Structure formats: C-alpha cells, structure tokens
Amino acid sequence: MINARTSKSGRIYSPGVLLGNWFEDVCLEEESLKDFLYKKENGELLIQKSRRLKDSLYKKEQLSISKDGYIHFGDTVLFLNLDVVRLPEEKALIMGGNLSLAVNPDISTLYTGDNLSAPCDLSAIEQVNPIGRNAFRILRWDSLAKKVWQGTVNVLLIFPPLCFLSIFNNGYLISKQITPLCLNFQLFMSSDHKSFQNMAKKSSLQPVFMTDELSYLCAWQITFLDPQLRLEYEGLPIPANTKVVIVHTHTNQALAVPRTFWIRTYFGKECEINCHTYLDSHKAEESKNHWIIVTGNPSDDSTTMFNRPKPQSEETRAQNTECL
C-alpha cells in the first residue's frame, strides 16, 4: 500500500511527489542525522551519559588493606552500620540488617546527567559490598586533598594527623564525582542546623547532604565509641574495622541511621540519613550513631574484613586437634 501525502490544498499525492520546501526538509533531516551520529560517537547522548553514571554507581571497588590494623591516608574504606535489636519502646524498624553509607543522586540526574550535581542526598543501603556509591577514600587536608585521584570512589578528607580527633582537629567528609568524565569535581558532605526550609524529609531532624562548596559546615570529627574513654584516646590512631562515632563539628551532632524512616529512591527502598545524637539512659550514643570503618580483606580481593570469618580460639583449635 502506497502511503499518501496531503498538500495544503487538501489534495492527496503519492510519496514520490515533492511538495513545498522539500529540499530544505531533506537537508534538515540529514543535519539531524549527522548531529545524532556525532553525539553518539562522542558519547554525548543522554542515554549514554545516564548509562555511564549508573555503571559508575554500581562499579565494584577495591578497598584498601590495613597492614598494621589502623586507618591511613589514601585508604579506600566503607562506612557500615551494624544490625540492631529493636527495643520494646521503640518504633518498628523499617529496614534491618547491616547498612552502609552511600550517595543518593536525584532521579533527574540519573536520567539526564553524567555526573553528580549539588546538592546530593545521602542514604543507607543494604549493599555492604564496596561499589561506587558507598566506597570512600581518606585523604589529608593539604596538597593531597587538591590532587585529582584516578578512580570512581568517594573521599573522606580530614586534617593530619589521622587519629581520634578533638574539636581542634576537624575533618571533611566529601564525595568525589563518581563518573570519571570530570575528575576535578568534588562534593562535600555537609550539614547545618535544621530550619523550616532545611530539614530531613521524614524525621524532620538535622539534614545531611552533599555540596560543592567547602566551608565550616563540611567539618566532621571521629571520636571514640566509649564517652568515658574519649579523653584517653584523643590523638591515638584510628583502628580499622572497629566502631566509632562521626560527629559534625559545627553542630556537635553525630551521623545517624534511625532505621525508622525510609525513602523511596531510584534504587529502591532505603533508609534516611540524618545528623542527630541519639543518647541512651547512660548518656552514651545508641547503635544508630555507631559506624565501622571497613577495610579490604588481604586473603580475598573480592571481600572485606567484615566478611572475613573470625579466627578460632585456642580451645576450639585444641578440640579440633584432639578429634583428629
């Protein structure tokens, strides 16, 4: 069947008949095709940009291996919040299990952009294996901080020396751009006092977000878990794979995962992240504020120290030897 063409006068012609500015229409079609092929070759199509960003977010990362059991500058680590047991007086937990800190890009950015844009939210995800979303790198606040790192991981930036920090040693938790297209672009983890216009969506507490402006609002500090021993541990190196508390310097509130508030994201159902110190009856931080700085497993490149089985005790070894 021949597709008919209709002129302005209403008469029907066959496709072979040239009507109106037919030559101009042909040139415009050719230019549109050339422009499409040019963008495709240079990776400038929206679907290509979105695919690169998603691939970077899900790209498997290799965590650094701690040889002496402490955290060092340049290490790639994972921030993990362990599973908690709900108390009878608490609300029902929305999400159980171990959760890791991760960036949560806006849906419009995932569909139209090829890099993270500010502001960018944070969330807690069930993925405990290091990927582009939840892997962080620790750098010191000097010339190394301005160096462009070849890789698709986030960055934890603190002042030297790397130790349990007092209020005079501030740190900056930042997220490097996940896609390697523009490696000099960085987002800093920031927080500020809550207001009517600036608060967490579900908990209405102090929000935590990523920004591209480095200021005093981006300052964080790592403190010892036990509040009664923090003075004794000030200035000591930070051990890897142990629980610590990450506190915002300006507001003196700790990074937390309430687990009672969830948000709907492009990646599914995730927990909200806020900056609030949850204290128990002993004036100590609850498990919502506890974070583990996880490093890589020296025995297996594909796992972390968190997944590594614990060594057997001497009694268990003796019993196994007797059975043999």
What tokens does 18 get? 């040239």
Task: Output the pLDDT for position 244.
Answer: 92
| Distance in angstroms (rounded) separating the CA atoms of residues 8 and 87 | 76
Nearest Cα residue to 56 out of 165, 144, 134, 169: 134
At the topology level, CATH places domain 63-145+159-307 in Trefoil (Acidic Fibroblast Growth Factor, subunit A) (2.80.10)
Query: Please, what's the largest Cα pairwise distance for the chain?
Result: 101
Give the domain ranges of the chain.
Answer: 5-39, 63-145+159-307
pLDDT digits (tens, 9 = 90+) for 252-308: 999 999 888 888 888 888 999 999 999 988 889 999 999 999 998 887 777 788 777
E strand or H helix at 30, and its extent? helix 22-41
Counting as low any pLDDT under 70, the low residues of the chain are 1-16, 19-20, 85-93, 114, 139-186, 312-313, 317, 322-324
pTM of the predicted structure, to 2 decimals: 0.76
pLDDT digits (tens, 9 = 90+) for 192-201: 999 888 888 8
Question: At 247, phi and psi to the nearest 5?
Answer: -115, 140
Query: How many Cβ atoms from other residues are within 10 Å of residue 230's Cβ?
Result: 14
pLDDT digits (tens, 9 = 90+) for 45-63: 888 877 887 777 888 888 8
Task: Output the pLDDT for position 160.
Answer: 44
